[in-house]
Amino acid sequence: MVELDWKAKMVSSDIPKKSPKLSNKPQVSIPTPFRFSNMSSPLSTSPSASKAYDYYLRLPELRKLWETEEFPAWKNEVVLKPALHALEITFRFISIVLSDPRPYLNRREWTRRLQSLTTSQIELIAMLCEDENEAPILDLTSSNGVLTRESSSAEVWKIHGETTVVNRTSEASLLPRLVTWQKSEDVAQKILYSIECEMRRCPYTLGLGEPNLSGKPNLDYDAVCKPNELHALKSSPYDHIENHENSTLYTTNQILESWIQTAKQLLKRIASGIDAGSFEAAACDCYILEKIWKLLEEIEDLHLLMDPNDFLHLKSQLQIKSVNETEAFCFRSKGLVEITKLSKELKHKVPFILGVEVDPNGGPRIQDAAMRLYSEQKEGNKVSLVQALQAIEAALKRFFFGYKQVLMIVMGSLEAKGNRVVACSDSGDSLSQIFLEPTYFPSLDAAKTFLGEFWSREQGESRFKK
């Protein structure tokens, strides 16, 4: 079980004595933490439920694909590979939706949602690829317009006069096939243009058939993503169940877990970057992580488009039920539990970022350092980093709040959690404990409170003098 520390130490309300600007000592009351009755760890679930979840999604086999490092010199491989897997699974998802024969399926809204989800993923992948110089790429300008037998899907064309470009398209990805299918042609074309636009700041492009008007090198997509091995896992162990929502649920959660894996690797990179003093790079990674939390929320929202009757029938067929009154279904994902814990533990990096140690007597040392950082405006990289850390907290809590609403809508308020989680009024369920708990960064919060009060008093005094 993963235990989270729910008790946040509240800082003193003293104003830093070293700063002459902040010596008026305004009296500001800090809100007290929300108290939960009979509070237990929110991140706990039955090991058997987690094992069943892993088995249903074939996560052990997916993890082997994620964790196999085939390019030792490429540090970004463990971060980018599961993101590319999620994108490729989304291409399969589009095919599943457009092939669904049910006449009552809202195919138009499904198409819009999957287009939006794909664009969000491409944006994140592009952010992960910026400043990348170690990825396995195919230099398309070195062949002088000569096509090799292995690259039958390549195109030859010229840009800027006589410059010859060989634009190679992945032979294993589903996206080029979606372009040739009448039902998915418009969706696939829009995805290709999204790749072209989002990858403009990157040193290479994905090589999925996008125009590549800049003539940039292509990522060796097939070697990195291995679409054939990935799509070999497209069938769940419960494919014998005759319910169209089975493939929808299975595919949705495979995409979710792939991005959770990327988030986990990114969190490790953030922690090591902070420890190394690379605050600017760490801040960039933190904002990417914030976007991943928002993407996870977007993925969970896909459940809202599932047919209620078919989904609840599937729930019965798969025997999905609560183990206890307060358990949340999402915590059956060990990966989600881990990235939640790691995201929260970033709070322990704040003293190092501010260059101070925690006062063993509980004094406002961290708060004072934060107020100096904000007021002096000399270290922008540190300000960006602590702001990004709080952005992660906000995105994390929004995810769990949104998940609770999705759970209620999809399953019904009573069915959602053993008649307890969304139906009772004491907010003692595991989801509410997460998004209602006190801030992870009380010193940063207090520093902003006092700084805001200082400027309010300054403004009031200036008006009085006039």
The band of 25, judged by pLDDT with boundaries at 50, 70 and 90, is very low
4: DSSP letter: -
Element containing residue 49 per DSSP (H, E): helix 47-57
Rounded to whole angstroms, how far apart are CA atoms 342 and 164?
A: 48
Rounded to whole angstroms, how far apart are CA atoms 168 and 140?
A: 7
Rounded to whole angstroms, how far apart are CA atoms 212 and 206?
A: 9
Tell me the average pLDDT across 392-398: 97
pLDDT at 461: 67
Rounded to whole angstroms, how far apart are CA atoms 274 and 104?
A: 51
Percent of the chain with pLDDT over 90: 67
Q: With contact defined as beta carbons under 8 Å apart, do 313 and 237 qualify?
A: no
Q: Which residue has the tokens 């024969």?
A: 101
Higher pLDDT, 430 or 175: 175
Q: With contact defined as beta carbons under 8 Å apart, do 340 and 5 qualify?
A: no
pLDDT at 321: 72
Q: Which neighbouring-strand residues pair with 83?
A: none
Cα distances (angstroms) measured from residue 316 to each of 26, 239, 310, 320, 372: 59, 15, 10, 6, 57
Euclidean distance between the first and the last CA atom of the chain, given in angstroms as a whole number: 61
Task: Judge whether residue 20 has pLDDT over 80.
Answer: no
Q: Which neighbouring-strand residues pair with 163?
A: 159
196-205 pLDDT, tens digit per residue, is 999 999 999 9
The band of 157, judged by pLDDT with boundaries at 50, 70 and 90, is low
- Report which of 281, 463, 299, 238 is spatially closest to residue 382, judged by C-alpha positions: 281
pLDDT at 41: 54
Report helix, strand or coil for 159.
strand
Asked which of 84-88, 297-301, 361-365 is least confident by mean pLDDT, the reply is: 361-365
Tell me the average pLDDT across 443-453: 92
The band of 162, judged by pLDDT with boundaries at 50, 70 and 90, is low
The number of beta carbons lying within 10 Å of the beta carbon of residue 108 is 8
pLDDT at 133: 86
pLDDT at 432: 82
pLDDT at 456: 83
Rounded to whole angstroms, how far apart are CA atoms 31 and 385?
A: 25
Q: Which two tokens stand for residue 383?
A: 């300000």
Higher pLDDT, 193 or 453: 193
Tell me the DSSP string of 90-122.
HHHHHHHHHH---TT--HHHHHHHHHHHHHHHH
Tell me the average pLDDT across 360-380: 92
Report helix, strand or coil for 205.
strand
Report helix, strand or coil for 164.
strand
| Mean pLDDT rounded to a whole number for the chain | 84
Cα distances (angstroms) measured from residue 357 to each of 9, 313, 346, 423: 15, 55, 15, 44
Tell me the average pLDDT across 165-172: 79
The number of beta carbons lying within 10 Å of the beta carbon of residue 424 is 14
Asked which of 31-35, 218-222, 269-273, 385-389 is least confident by mean pLDDT, the reply is: 31-35
- Report which of 31, 18, 28 is spatially closest to residue 373, judged by C-alpha positions: 18
Report helix, strand or coil for 8.
coil
Q: Which of 28-37, 82-91, 401-410 has the highest mean pLDDT?
A: 82-91
- Report which of 296, 284, 314, 264 is spatially closest to residue 121, judged by C-alpha positions: 296
The number of beta carbons lying within 10 Å of the beta carbon of residue 14 is 12
The number of beta carbons lying within 10 Å of the beta carbon of residue 226 is 19
Task: Judge whether residue 11 has pLDDT over 50.
Answer: no
- Report which of 62, 86, 49 is spatially closest to residue 298, judged by C-alpha positions: 86
Backbone angles phi, psi at 47, to 5 degrees: -60, -35
C-alpha torsion angle, residues 246, 250, 253, 258 (rounded to 10) = -170
- For β-strands 218-219 and 137-138, DSSP reports them as antiparallel
Q: With contact defined as beta carbons under 8 Å apart, do 221 and 173 qualify?
A: yes
- Report which of 369, 341, 356 is spatially closest to residue 271, judged by C-alpha positions: 341
Higher pLDDT, 46 or 111: 111
pTM value is 0.86
Percent of the chain with pLDDT over 70: 78
Task: Judge whether residue 219 has pLDDT over 60.
Answer: yes
pLDDT at 47: 86
Would you put residue 327 in left (φ > 0), alpha (ψ -120 to 50) or beta?
beta
Cα distances (angstroms) measured from residue 86 to each of 31, 97, 127, 251, 335: 41, 16, 15, 10, 15
- Report which of 317, 336, 329 is spatially closest to residue 245, judged by C-alpha positions: 317
Tell me the average pLDDT across 113-117: 97
